[in-house]
Amino acid sequence: MVSLRWCCNQKDGIKLIESNANLAKGYLKMAEDSLGTMSRERKYNLRSAVSACYYSMYYSLYAVCMKIGIKCEIHSCTLEFMKRMLNELYSLEDIRDIKKAFDARNIAQYYIDKNVLKEDSDYIIEKAPLFFEKTKEILAKINEKDTEKIREKLRHPI
């Protein structure tokens, strides 16, 4: 199991960088593109749809990270950052939803002999556009004070 402290000590783990609104917009665009892929592939290739679903949520989350000035190349650490540091922005349900999508994506991409349960794929595919919309709201309202509060908490991870 990953911890915030462990993630901050990894080479490709959580790092403070300059806040970058342009990268945040770029990741949000990638999230939107992934939603389109998810919708198109749903009828034809469920594995691809599930993967695109997860990436739409992940890119949405990463847009918030870029706005705050957080870089992380380990997905489980980005999710841990969300759970520990963005819990005033995202609900417990949001955190559970992206984790469910992460687990489904892992099955879809890495296991030939396993399938994502239909109720799980239906659920996350339904939730992905809502997650995207919520993230757009977060990006519109998050300010420099919020950003600095989160960055300061990260300087002293528990």
What is the reported pTM?
Answer: 0.94
Q: What architecture is the 4-148 domain classified under in CATH?
A: Up-down Bundle (1.20)
CA-wise closest residue to 153 among 95, 84, 94? 84
Contact predicate 88/48, CB 8 Å: no
Q: Using alpha carbons only, what angle is made at residue 85 by residues 81 and 89, rounded to the nearest 5 degrees?
A: 110
The domains of the chain are located at: 4-148
Output the pLDDT for position 23.
97
pLDDT digits (tens, 9 = 90+) for 29-63: 999 999 999 999 999 999 999 999 999 999 999 99
Could you tell me the pLDDT band of residue 1, with boundaries at 50, 70 and 90? confident
Contact predicate 67/21, CB 8 Å: yes
Q: Using alpha carbons only, what angle is made at residue 45 by residues 51 and 78, rounded to the nearest 5 degrees?
A: 0
